[in-house]
Chains A and B, each alone.
Chain A
Amino acid sequence: MPEAMIRLEDVTKRFDSTDQSAVEGLSMEVADGETVVLVGPSGCGKTTTMKMINRLVEPTSGHIFVDGTDVLEQDAVRLRRGIGYVIQSIGLLPHRTVAQNMATVPKLEGWEGGRIEERISELVSIFDLDERMLERYPSELSGGQRQRVGVARALAADPPVMLMDEPFGAVDPIVRERLQDQFLDIQRRLQKTIVFVTHDIDEAIKIADRIAILNVGGKIEQFATPEEILRQPANDFVRKFVGVERGLKRLALMKVEEIRVEDGPVTAPGSSSKDALEELARFDFDWISVVEDGELLGWVDRSGLEKAERVSDVDPRPFSAYVTGESTLREALDSIVTSRTQVAVVATEGQRYKGILTLEKISKEIVT
């Protein structure tokens, strides 16, 4: 196994003013390119843990290594410039424009003007920002825009490690979801090593490679992949934290392409109605998919076929919805329960027919 990018060894933090430790004996490793999400109730030491990694908080005891070096043996300022940091409340500098905010670390690092400008246009396109926003001050942005600028700023000098403390905390669910999708998209391309804090378990499940569920005092209750945490919660604390709908949440993690789809009744425009009706009866359906050379044309129903000679005599009706390999099983389930026929048709983006999914098939996936 390659050397972990971030390693915490038996780290404890006790603040002067308190007798209880904010974090007690915490050990964990984050691999290169991995996204680890810390979740847990308020006050359990998530922010403290994160701040110890970039030395905004010094541990009372224990060791923290970033890229193999003990952080306490590095110059704090140098260390921090190499770690992208998004704080819980974003913390844009109010007296700097959006562009100047994004240029903060490159400027500290002494990049020359042209290179900084280039980098900013790059960030604008990565984060899908509005060019006209660059000259505005943070007070002139919406909450969602601020969050994006905060993340863009942390990425500006292209640090290999990112610490993100509830970066999407202060926005409504719709914007939040968009920011998460964007985050995933960017992370797939950049492969940063990320420690991400949230207290939204759904957010954690969505973006984490691994989730650390923390209890008060920074105690790890479970540190595993989202799939494993949902399938096998380590204890009652985790079970409670993950909440109800564990099964449904797992479905959201699985893609249709990961499971084998079922065969459904299929016919071609050139077939006779009789053959099509037989096929339909074999599946005990009252409709049949019409596929020509692999392309899904739509469906026709029994009564239509009974009046026709050939399948091509009936105009196929388009499916109101179908799922693709990229869809999650949860989306497939939704498609099933909302369709009249209780079946989800699976096709590719390019309308290539793949098969069908039924309730039975999906509930089997939840059990195993």
Chain B
Amino acid sequence: MIRAQVEGQPYIDWGWIADHMDDVWTRLIEHSYLTFLAVAIGMLISFPLAIFAHRHRRSYGPIAAVTGLLYTIPSLALFAFLVPYTRLSVLTAEIGLVSYTLLILIRGVVSGLSGVPSDAREAALGMGYSRSELLWRVELPLSTPVIIAGIRIATVTTIGLVTVTALIGKGGLGFFILMGIDRNFPTASLLGSILSLGLAVLVDFLLVRVERLVTPWAHRERRATI
């Protein structure tokens, strides 16, 4: 099955792609799954942390510093460090992926919450919302556009990063990229890259639609009359 790039041979081997459609689907689904899992777990961790940071301003500095540090660790180094402990598992991949989403997601939620107009907050308190009603019924709904903007960046970034986890045997579409490099077979690398790019564009588009759907108030034209 190993083929090398030979003079005169077409750059993209369509036949090979057609033969491997099953593989393509499997990897695409795996890629989506790894991404979804990373962003979902990232949200679960980020949400309470961001809400805590919003309530206790002084904690935001340390939280931002730690997640910022995680964000700057090179992914290869992180995997190299983790593999001895968690081996070549989904867990290893997810620890890496999740830790890269935290900075973006926490920042999104915190800046969403601090962007809530203070008059809306004060009016809500004045009308008798408790602190938690204020959070769930006013502050979070009003932060949704900014939070979703954070989720979009985190998701697109993660889709790119998932390809790197191919190095530890996961990686979804990264599998094709790695295979192409290993075997000097551009068709596979291109296939992996383009599909991963396409997935990012598609998911980003879907998230934009979701945002419009859940925050209709943020998208109305002002059409005032006396």
A residues lining the B interface (CB < 8 Å) = 54, 56, 77-81, 85, 87-97, 104-105, 108, 136-137, 139-142, 144-145, 153-154, 163, 175
Q: CB < 8 Å: which of B128, B218, B220 contacts A108?
A: B128
Question: Known contacts A87-B122, A95-B142, A142-B225: does B217 contact A81 (CB below 8 Å)?
Answer: no
Q: Are A141 and B224 in contact (CB under 8 A)?
A: yes
Taking chain A's interface residues, is the majority helix, strand, or loop, or is none over half, making it mixed? mixed
Interchain residue pairs A-B with the least CB separation, the first 5: A91-B123, A81-B128, A80-B128, A91-B119, A85-B126
Question: Known contacts A95-B215, A108-B133: does B126 contact A54 (CB below 8 Å)?
Answer: yes
Question: Known contacts A93-B138, A94-B142, A95-B142: does B119 contact A108 (CB below 8 Å)?
Answer: no
Q: Are B138 and A87 in contact (CB under 8 A)?
A: no
**Across the interface, which residues of A come within 8 angstroms of B142, CB to CB?**
93-95
Distance A163 CA – B142 CA, assembled complex (angstroms): 26
**Across the interface, which residues of B come within 8 angstroms of A105, CB to CB?**
127-128
Q: Is B141 an interface residue (CB 8 A)?
A: yes
Distance A144 CA – B220 CA, assembled complex (angstroms): 19
Q: Is B223 an interface residue (CB 8 A)?
A: yes
Q: CB < 8 Å: which of A81, A145, A154 contacts B226?
A: A145
Q: Are A80 and B127 in contact (CB under 8 A)?
A: yes
**Across the interface, which residues of B come within 8 angstroms of A175, CB to CB?**
226
Q: Are A87 and B119 in contact (CB under 8 A)?
A: yes
Q: Are B123 and A108 in contact (CB under 8 A)?
A: no
Distance A301 CA – B142 CA, assembled complex (angstroms): 71
Q: Is B37 an interface residue (CB 8 A)?
A: no
Q: How large is the interface on B (under 10, 10 to 19, 20 to 34, 35 or more residues)?
A: 20 to 34
Q: Are A140 and B128 in contact (CB under 8 A)?
A: no
**Across the interface, which residues of B come within 8 angstroms of A94, CB to CB?**
117, 120, 142, 217-218
Question: Known contacts A87-B119, A137-B220: does B226 contact A144 (CB below 8 Å)?
Answer: yes
Distance A288 CA – B222 CA, assembled complex (angstroms): 57
Q: Is B124 an interface residue (CB 8 A)?
A: yes
Distance A96 CA – B138 CA, assembled complex (angstroms): 9
Distance A255 CA – B103 CA, assembled complex (angstroms): 68
Distance A95 CA – B115 CA, assembled complex (angstroms): 14
Distance A94 CA – B118 CA, assembled complex (angstroms): 12
Question: Known contacts A108-B133, A137-B220, A139-B217: does B126 contact A87 (CB below 8 Å)?
Answer: yes
**B 104-146 binary contact with A (CB < 8 Å = 1; else 0):** 0000000000000101101111111110010000100110000
Distance between A37 CB and nearest chain B CB, rounded to angstroms: 19
Question: Known contacts A142-B225, A142-B226, A145-B226: does B119 contact A77 (CB below 8 Å)?
Answer: no
Question: Known contacts A94-B120, A94-B142, A95-B141: does B225 contact A104 (CB below 8 Å)?
Answer: no
Distance A104 CA – B120 CA, assembled complex (angstroms): 12
Seed contacts A94-B120, A108-B127, A140-B223; 11 additional CB < 8 Å A-B pairs: A77-B128, A77-B130, A85-B126, A91-B117, A93-B120, A93-B138, A94-B142, A95-B138, A95-B141, A108-B129, A145-B226
Q: CB < 8 Å: which of B120, B123, B215, B224 contacts A85?
A: B123
Distance A87 CA – B122 CA, assembled complex (angstroms): 8
CB neighbors of A among B150-176 (8 A): none
**B 185-226 binary contact with A (CB < 8 Å = 1; else 0):** 000000000000000000000000000000111101111111
Distance between A124 CB and nearest chain B CB, rounded to angstroms: 16
CB neighbors of A among B21-39 (8 A): none
Q: Are A140 and B138 in contact (CB under 8 A)?
A: no
Distance between B102 CB and nearest chain A CB, rounded to angstroms: 27
Residue of A77, A79, A88 with most chain B CB atoms under a 10 A cut-off: A77
**Across the interface, which residues of A come within 8 angstroms of B141, CB to CB?**
95
